[in-house]
Amino acid sequence: MTVKNTDPKSAVSKFEIGKVRKRTGRLIKYRRERITEAIFKALIASNKKSIEDNKRLAEELAVQVEKRLVKIFKGLDRYPSVEDIQDIVEAVLLENKLFKVVQNYVEYRQVRRFIREEKKSILNKSILSSIEKKFSLTAIQVLASRYLIRDSEGKIIEDLEHLFGRAAVVGVLPELVFDKKVSKRPRGKRYEVFGSRPAGIFDFKEEHSDRQVKEFVSKIEPKLKQVPEKIEDTHTGYRIGKYPLMYGHLHRLAALYDEAKLAGWVKISFNKLLDLLSEGYFDKYEKLVDEYYNMMINQEFLPNSPTLMNAGYRLGQLSACFVLDMEDDLLSILTTNTHVGIIFQSGGGVGINYGKLRPEGDIVASTSGVASGPLSFMEIVNTTTEVIKQGGKRRGANMGVLDVYHPDIEKFIVAKEDLNRFTNFNISVGFWEIFWDSLIQKSRMPLINPRTKERVRELDPADFINRLAISAHKSAEPGVIFFDKINKYNVLKDVLGNVRATNPCGEQPLYAYESCNLGSINLASCVRQDKEGNLVFNWRKYKKLIRLATRYLDNIIDINRYPLPIIRYRTRQTRKVGLGIMGLADLFYKLGIAYNSKEAYMMMNKLAEYLTYYSMEESVNLAAAKGAFPLFSKSDYAKGKLPVAGYYEVEKHNLDWKALLELIGEYGIRNSMTTTIAPTGSIAMIADTSTGLEPQFSLAYRKNVAIGNFFIVDKVFDEYLLYTRRQDAAKLREIVANNRGMLTGLEEYFDEQEKKRFITAQEIHWLDHLIAQATWQRWITASISKTINMHEDVTSTDVKHAYLLGHELGCKGLTVYREGSRMGVIQFKGEKQQVRLVPSDYAIKVVEGILNSSDGIYGARVDFRSELNDLLEAAIKGIKPTIEDQLELVSKAKEVPVEGDGPIKIPGVDVCPDCGGDLILEEGCKKCVQCGWSACTVS
C-alpha cells in the first residue's frame, strides 16, 4: 500500500474552519495533532512498522483528513463536530486501503463510546465535562461510589469540578483569617498560635464571644442538616474568585474566626469579614485555590478520603487518622468506646493500645471478681465498628496494639487465626527495648501486670518471636510495631512521653487523642521529556508539589471540624501532617527502571530525602508567617534535633540539613511531623496510578462488562503496549491477564529487559520489599504502610527474619503477607508460573553487611545469624523449603483453583462490602480491585 506523499508543512496554511464542536456543544480550537494522535494509535496496533514510520504516516494521513474537512465545511454555516471528523478519518483510511487500521480505529471508537456512556450512566449526566472525560472509567467509578454528593433519592448531583473545587477551597479558608486586614499578630509571642489554649474553649457549639457569629450560624445550621436536591442549594452566594463557598465552608470559617478572636488575634468583626468577601477583597486568594484545584484535577496530589468526602459540607471532618487511649477502669473503657463510635461516624479510623488493661483473670477489687482482659474489650470495639458506618459511607477500621511485655500477649498473637474474630481490626504487637535486650542477652523477658507493675511470669523471647512468625505465616497477622524505633528520634518525647499507638494501618504514630491529615503526591506525574526526548524525573516540579501540598495540609488542621474538642486541642498542640507519595511503581515503569535494582533504591533514597526536607523547609516558612506549633520551645527541635533517622544514620546527604536546622532555630517549624507513607488505595485509583510505594500488584486482569471482556490494565504498561509493541495490544492485554497479571513465563512475547522493567509484587523477593521500605523509612518522619509480600513457599523462619531484619534496618513496623495465607484475599487464575524469586544483588549486599557486623541482634545471636545465612544461600540458589521445613505450621491455606482467566475470590470468604468485588492485600490492608474500597480509612 502506498500513501500519496503529502508534506505536512505544505498542508493548509490556515485552517479556514478554525473550531470544532464537542459533544457537549462547546466550541474548542481545532488542532490537527489530535487527529494525528488518534490515527497513530490505530496504526501501531495494526502493523509492525517502526514508531518513526508510523508517526510519519499518521501525520500524512492527518493532512489528508484536514484537507477533506476544509473542502466539506468551507462555506457551511456550522463547525464540524468530533463525530464528523472521526467519520472523515475512517473514509481517508479506507481510501488508502488501510483496512486493518480502519478496523482498529472503529473498535477504538466503540470502546471510547462505551466508556463515555458508562461514565454518563454512573454520574447521572447527559453530557460529560472535559475533566470527567479525562479521568478513567475506574476513577469515575471510585469517585461515584463514595465521594460525589447524592440527593435524598441517592442520585449523584455533583460533578468532578465541584468536588475538587470544594476540596481546594478548604485549603485556603485559613488564609482569610490570617489576612492582614483581619488578624493582628501579638508581639512577644513568637511560638504561640491560637489552638494552644485548653480544649473546652474551642468547642464551637458551646462557646462563642461574638453574638453576630452565633446569629449567622443559627441561620445556616438548619440548611447544613438537609440533603440538597441540587448542589446550588448548598451555595451561600459568597465566592473566592470563581469558586463558590458552601455553607460548610462558611461554618468552618466562622468557627476559625471565633477561635482567633478568643485568642486576641482579630481586629474586625465577622460581619466585616463577610463584607470583604462580598466586595471581592479575598479574590486575591483565587490563584492559591487554582493551584490546589489543578494539583487534584491533574492527578498530581490528592488529600486523604475524608477531606474529599466532607470538604464544604456539614460534617466537615477532614482527618483519617486518630489514636485514642483506654485506661484500666470501666468508665474510661466505655468512654473510649463512645469516642470510637463518634470518630467512625465522622469518617475516621482509630488506633488504641490496650496495654494498660489488666490481664485476663486478674483481680477486680470493686466486684471481687476477675478481669476479662484486653481481648474482651477489643470485642466491644469490634462490635461498635460493625454497626456504625464512617460518615454513612463504610465501616471503620481499627488498630489494636498490645505491648510485648503484657501478660496476655501470647493469646493476642493467635487471636486472628479465628477468621470470624476481630474482623474490623488490624492487630500488632508493640515491641520495646525490653524485648530486644532480652533476646540479645538470651535471657527470659518479664511479663508485667499493668495494674500492679509487678512481674507476673517470664517468657523466652526467641520462642515468642518464633510463635509470632508462625501465626503471621498462617494468617498474615499480627503485624509488628517497633516503638523503640518510633521513639528513638521522637522530638516530643521529653514533653509528651513515648508514643504508644498508631492509626489503623500503622503508618501514623500518634499520641492519645491526636489526629493527622494525610495526602499523597503522584510521583508518576513528575516525569518530563529532556532535550533528547528521554523521559526524566522532574525534580523542580516535585519540590513545588511538596511545598504546595504541605501548605494545604497545614491549613486543613485549622479548618477541620474535629469530632471531639480534646482531639482539636491535642492535634493543634503538635500540628502533625502526613505528606506521602503514590505512583512509585508507575514512575519506575515510565523511566524504565527495575523496582528491585540498585538504581531504583538510590532514587528511592533521594525521593524520600527530598520529600521530608522540602516539606520541613516549607513548614519553617509557615512558622515564620503564622507561628510554630505550640510545643516547639519544649521539643527537641529547640535543642537542634530532628525526627529524621537519615540525618543521623545516612553518611552522604543530597541536601543541606544543617542549613535547615539553622532556619528551624531562627523561625521555628509549624508542624512537628511532616511526612508519612500512607495507603492510597482509592485515591491512587482516582489518580490512575500505582499505590503508595508498593510495586504494582498486577499489570492486568479481566473484568466482564456489557460489550464483552474489559481489562483493567496498569496505565503506564498499557501506554507502553500501545506505543512500542508491534503485536496487537488487545491480544497482549489478554495474554498478561491470563498469566496472573505478570510477564514471567511470557518469553514468547516479552524480552528480559521488559520483564525486569514491568516487574510486579508477585515477582519480587521479600528481602527487596523490605529494603524498599527501609530505604524510605530513613527519611520519613512518621512511619510507612507497606506489605512485605512473600512467596507461598516461604517458611515461618523467613517471616521471623523479616521482622528481625526490619528492626535492624530501622523500620518502624512491618506487615508480612505470604501468598495464600489470608482468607478473603483474591488469587489470580491462569496457569500458575513457577516463579523463582531471588533477592537483588543490592539486597544481598545489605544483608551480608548485617551478617558481617558485630552489632545488633545478628552480632549477638550466632543461631540467628546462621539461620539467616542459610536462608540467603537458599534464596540465591533457588532452593525451595523441604517438607520438614513446613511441619512447624499448624495448618496451610487451602489450595485455590487456578483454571480460567482473571482474578477470583477464595470460595466461601468475604468480599468487598461496597460492591461485592474481589480483595487483595496491599499496603498492609485489604483493598477492592473493583471500586477502591479499603479496610484502611486513609485510602
What is the spatial distance between Cα 839 and Cα 876, in angstroms, rounded to a whole number?
A: 7
What is the spatial distance between Cα 110 and Cα 533, in angstroms, rounded to a whole number?
A: 32
Nearest to 505 by CA among 428, 429, 430: 428
What distance, in Å, lies between the first and last C-alpha atoms of the chain? 52
What is the spatial distance between Cα 192 and Cα 632, in angstroms, rounded to a whole number?
A: 9
Does the annotation count 505 as an active-site position? yes
Helix (H, G, I), strand (E, B) or coil at 481: strand
Beta strand pairing call for 787-790 and 813-818: parallel
Nearest to 683 by CA among 473, 835, 519: 519
Does the annotation count 424 as an active-site position? no
HSE-up of 664 (CA within 13 Å, CB side)? 28
What is the spatial distance between Cα 681 and Cα 936, in angstroms, rounded to a whole number?
A: 9
What is the spatial distance between Cα 299 and Cα 135, in angstroms, rounded to a whole number?
A: 9
Core vs surface per residue 716-732: b (16+ CB within 10 A) or e: bbbebbbeebeeebbeb
Per annotation, catalytic residue among 175, 259, 507, 618: 507
Q: Which amino acid is at 914?
A: D
* CA-based radius of gyration for the chain: 29
DSSP-assigned letter for residue 13: S
| CA 402 vs CA 478, 479, 500, 512, 803: distances in Å | 10, 11, 9, 15, 17
| CA 435 vs CA 10, 557, 728, 783: distances in Å | 78, 37, 57, 21
The grid cell for 726 is 508491534
Q: Which amino acid is at 431?
A: F
Is the Cβ–Cβ distance between 563 and 348 less than 8 Å? yes
Nearest to 36 by CA among 128, 113, 117, 105: 105
Per annotation, catalytic residue among 175, 310, 490, 505: 505
Report angle CA 641, 605, 583 to the nearest 5 degrees: 120
The grid cell for 640 is 537542634
Q: Quick one: 332 exposed, middle or buried, by C-beta within 10 A (0-12, 13-18, 19+)?
A: middle
The position carrying cell 491560637 is 194
Report angle CA 703, 706, 711 to the nearest 5 degrees: 25
3-state secondary structure 46-108: CCCCCHHHHHHHHHHHHHHHHHHHHHHHCCCCCCCEHHHHHHHHHHHHHHCCCHHHHHHHHHH
The position carrying cell 519540590 is 543
Is the Cβ–Cβ distance between 676 and 507 less than 8 Å? yes
Does the annotation count 739 as an active-site position? no
What is the spatial distance between Cα 927 and Cα 939, in angstroms, rounded to a whole number?
A: 9
The grid cell for 354 is 490496650
Is the Cβ–Cβ distance between 795 and 663 less than 8 Å? no
Which positions are annotated as active-site residues?
Answer: 503, 505, 507
